[in-house]
Chain A
Amino acid sequence: MNARRVMANLTVHLKQFSREKSTIFFVLLFPILLMVLFGFIFSDQGSSMGDLHIQNVDGGFHSQALVSAINGTGLFRIVEVDNSTDANQFFTDNKLNVLVIIPAGYSDSINMKLWNSTSPQANLTIKYDESVSYSQTKISVVNSIVDGMNKGLSGSVDYIGLDMDSVQSDEWKFIDFFAPGIIAMSVMSSSLFGTVGMNTELRQKGILRKLSTTPLTRTEWLLSNILYQMFMSMLSTAVILAVGMGMFGLRPHINLYMVVFILLCVFSFAGIGMLITRFVKEAESAQAAANAVMFPMMFLSGTFFQLEMMPGFLQTIARFLPLYYVNEGLRAAMISLDSGIILESAVIIGIFGLGVFVLGVVLTSWKDE
């Protein structure tokens, strides 16, 4: 390992980048587009998960509290269904996917339960269309709100306070939850495709062959490439944050954890890119291989679709994808500051990235490039 050689490579990559205007343009355009696109999709309508129909037959204090709690998340546009309508008929006629019914006596039951814990619990009825996967997501949100209220009512006051706050507060918009996913995805795609693109181009031009006749080692080459991709990722993250904050009022925590997750993400995916170019020599097949790596990650790691919407086996697969932990970790770092998730995710991606790097060093050599 020789730092001078690593720096020499890094300098070359940066010069190559900064001297090509069209490259700069497209490298910056991609994250801007992503953020603007998703920003408009998720901030404009406010209720990003669509309508939630509620029939409040009860109408008492606790039912009102529940409705306003759901409303407070800002995730739904609540549509009150008149008490006199037949719920079943209404559900079918309007092709609803979820209908929450607060039955008569709901508030009374809760009051009874508070008075005497042995009395029966209050029940909500949720009608939903099983064939629409989205209804599961809506239900899971309602569930978590009910959960929070349960905990609140059962007495552990401190805990509820926090929980209710994070759900109810207007501080976070849906776009805030989405931004970490956009950052993770843009960092993944730029490190993966950046690495694959650069290495296949340099191979085709015969530059790798020339490099193989110099004392430059694979480790040095790998490392300088990762450093360069780290720079690029920091750049695109800055762009995403600037657009998000400027246009959509994004207010994430920006901290060292965030930087750590971005670096780990680059380390992992630039490493995968190196491995791909080692084994898939043709430029086009290498691009295809990179796509094959990226797409499942994009869709299964919770960036665009909530994991809860997916069948169980896909959820299991997601738990094995590095991007899932980048998403989790970034979200925790930028929003909840949950140190447990931050630590767990960092350790998992850290191990993964190191593994990929070691494989890259062991499996690839300049010989017979």
Chain B
Amino acid sequence: MTEDVITVKDLVKVYGNVRAVDGITFAVEKGEVFAFLGPNGAGKTTTVEMIETIRTPTSGDISILGKDVKKDRMDILQRIGVLPQEFSSFDRLTVEETIQYYSRLFCVDCDVGRLIKLVNLEEHRKKLYVTLSGGLKQRVGIAVSLVNNPEIVFLDEPTTGLDPRARHEVWDVIKGLKREGKTIFLTTHYMEEAEVLADYIAIISKGKIIAYGTTTELIDSHFKTIKVTIKGGSAGIGQLAKKMGMAVHSEDKGGITIEATGNEQVVEFLNALKANGISYLSMDIRKPNLEELFLVLTGEALVEEEAAK
């Protein structure tokens, strides 16, 4: 049995004459990692802050753990944890003191040591916040969002501005939270992050949800083809592919991308390469990823808007 812990219905937020969030409806199930994916300015943070009860919706309904955000604000705050966008804390408190401070605000006795271990900050517990690197600061932020042992954790752009290694370390922490059974609402503009972490994805653009589903569902529903990218191949690859009825996407000095309709066509194509004695440096066979999906989707949305004008 699954249970919806967040339900959002027809949510709208208007600033002046800009509809930052334009009629959004979705639900998040208990225990899943839900990724809210979209470019900067799409309305992600506005939406998540309305769910976190710190912004007032223009219209629409939000219910968290069965409570209405308008009526039961304090109740909800006790049961959720929030890592705001661009989290920062008091410069001259240590990691330990920071976590302690936030737990006092919730008036709970939290096991600071356990949280520090959970976010892998054992060696840094006595360091002042100001001396930490970006990745460590984000991990302190995640620990702080857990002081009240929340049922839902909101992480707004948790890895923005981090280097790849720090990003992977934050991901490991988030995976750990998932193992603990927390529901995680992740806001991000990194497609890769959503791919790696999310069970369910909603893609938002210009205040509207334009796609909604699991990664596989999203890709399968929008792409029927498999991409074969060949680099350093000898001449005649493009012609061969065209002869076999496959679309040839890009052909420049570096390489060539061919779209196959399915696994069988890929095998046929590989055999044809071998039969024709064509050599190559590298070959990459894969389904399109979220990155490409997003480009396709927002490209469509853009065209639609221009047509409407």
Which of A1-9, A76-84, A251-259, A263-271 interfaces with chain B? A1-9
Query: Does B97 reach chain A (CB closer than 8 Å)?
Result: yes
Which of B77-85, B176-184, B219-227 interfaces with chain A? B77-85
Complex-state Cα separation, A207 to B98, whole angstroms: 12
Looking at A16, A207, A210, which has the most chain B CB atoms within 10 Å of its CB? A210
List the A side residues contacting B87 at CB < 8 Å. 206, 210
Query: Does B234 reach chain A (CB closer than 8 Å)?
Result: no
CB nearest to A13 among chain B residues: B90
- Count of chain B residues near A, Cβ 8 A: 29
* Chain A nearest CB, measured from B305 CB (Å): 29
Residue contact A20 to B54, C-beta cutoff 8 Å: no
* Chain A nearest CB, measured from B167 CB (Å): 20
Query: Does A293 reach chain B (CB closer than 8 Å)?
Result: no
Residue contact B91 to A210, C-beta cutoff 8 Å: no
Looking at A209, A211, A369, which has the most chain B CB atoms within 10 Å of its CB? A209
Interface string of A261-299 (1 = CB under 8 A from B): 000000000000000000000000000000000000000
Which of B16-24, B31-39, B103-111, B283-291 interfaces with chain A? B103-111
Complex-state Cα separation, A145 to B254, whole angstroms: 100
Residue contact A5 to B104, C-beta cutoff 8 Å: yes
Residue contact A214 to B106, C-beta cutoff 8 Å: yes
Complex-state Cα separation, A210 to B102, whole angstroms: 10
Residue contact A216 to B91, C-beta cutoff 8 Å: no
Looking at B84, B89, B105, which has the most chain A CB atoms within 10 Å of its CB? B105
List the A side residues contacting B265 at CB < 8 Å. none
Residue contact A215 to B77, C-beta cutoff 8 Å: yes
List the A side residues contacting B25 at CB < 8 Å. none
List the A side residues contacting B53 at CB < 8 Å. 213
Residue contact B77 to A214, C-beta cutoff 8 Å: yes
Residue contact A16 to B90, C-beta cutoff 8 Å: yes
Specify the main secondary structure of chain B where it touches its partner. Answer: loop
* Chain B nearest CB, measured from A208 CB (Å): 10
Interface string of B12-55 (1 = CB under 8 A from A): 00000000000000000000000000000000000000001111
Residue contact B92 to A19, C-beta cutoff 8 Å: yes
With A15-B97, A16-B91 as contacts: A367 and B82 at CB distance below 8 Å: no
List the A side residues contacting B149 at CB < 8 Å. none
Picked from A5, A8, A209, the residue with its CB within 8 Å of the CB of B54 is A209
A319-369 residues at the B interface, CB under 8 angstroms = 366-369
Query: Does A205 reach chain B (CB closer than 8 Å)?
Result: yes
Query: Does B216 reach chain A (CB closer than 8 Å)?
Result: no
Picked from A7, A16, A211, A213, the residue with its CB within 8 Å of the CB of B93 is A16
Query: Does B229 reach chain A (CB closer than 8 Å)?
Result: no
With A12-B90, A16-B91 as contacts: A215 and B55 at CB distance below 8 Å: no
Query: Does B88 reach chain A (CB closer than 8 Å)?
Result: yes
Complex-state Cα separation, A33 to B84, whole angstroms: 42
* Chain B nearest CB, measured from A2 CB (Å): 6
Complex-state Cα separation, A213 to B141, whole angstroms: 13
With A19-B92, A205-B88 as contacts: A12 and B101 at CB distance below 8 Å: yes
CB nearest to B82 among chain A residues: A213
List the A side residues contacting B91 at CB < 8 Å. 16
Complex-state Cα separation, A216 to B103, whole angstroms: 11
Residue contact A207 to B55, C-beta cutoff 8 Å: no
Residue contact B97 to A367, C-beta cutoff 8 Å: no
A4-42 residues at the B interface, CB under 8 angstroms = 4-5, 7-8, 11-12, 15-16, 19-20
Residue contact A12 to B93, C-beta cutoff 8 Å: yes
List the A side residues contacting B92 at CB < 8 Å. 15-16, 19-20
List the A side residues contacting B97 at CB < 8 Å. 12, 15
* Chain B nearest CB, measured from A21 CB (Å): 11
List the A side residues contacting B54 at CB < 8 Å. 209, 212-213, 366-369
List the A side residues contacting B82 at CB < 8 Å. 210, 213
Complex-state Cα separation, A85 to B90, whole angstroms: 73
Picked from B56, B78, B102, the residue with its CB within 8 Å of the CB of A368 is B56
List the B side residues contacting A4 at CB < 8 Å. 104, 107
Complex-state Cα separation, A15 to B104, whole angstroms: 16
Picked from B84, B106, B144, the residue with its CB within 8 Å of the CB of A209 is B84
List the B side residues contacting A207 at CB < 8 Å. 88-90
* Chain B nearest CB, measured from A254 CB (Å): 33
Complex-state Cα separation, A351 to B107, whole angstroms: 33
List the A side residues contacting B84 at CB < 8 Å. 206, 209-210, 213
Query: Does B74 reach chain A (CB closer than 8 Å)?
Result: yes
Residue contact A8 to B101, C-beta cutoff 8 Å: yes
Query: Does B86 reach chain A (CB closer than 8 Å)?
Result: yes
With A4-B104, A4-B107 as contacts: A213 and B88 at CB distance below 8 Å: no
Looking at B88, B91, B104, which has the most chain A CB atoms within 10 Å of its CB? B104
Picked from B86, B101, B107, the residue with its CB within 8 Å of the CB of A215 is B107
List the B side residues contacting A367 at CB < 8 Å. 54-56
CB nearest to A368 among chain B residues: B55
Picked from B74, B93, B107, the residue with its CB within 8 Å of the CB of A15 is B93
List the A side residues contacting B80 at CB < 8 Å. 213
CB nearest to A212 among chain B residues: B54
B99-137 residues at the A interface, CB under 8 angstroms = 101-102, 104-107, 128
Minimum-distance CB pairs A-B, first 6: A8-B104, A213-B82, A19-B92, A205-B88, A214-B105, A212-B54
Interface CB pairs A-B, < 8 A, 15: A8-B104, A11-B101, A12-B93, A16-B93, A20-B92, A205-B88, A210-B84, A210-B89, A210-B144, A213-B54, A213-B80, A214-B77, A215-B105, A216-B105, A367-B54
| 5 new A-B contacts at CB < 8 Å, known A366-B54, A367-B56 | A5-B105, A16-B90, A206-B86, A212-B54, A215-B107
* Residue positions of A touching B, CB distance < 8 A: 2, 4-5, 7-8, 11-12, 15-16, 19-20, 205-207, 209-216, 366-369
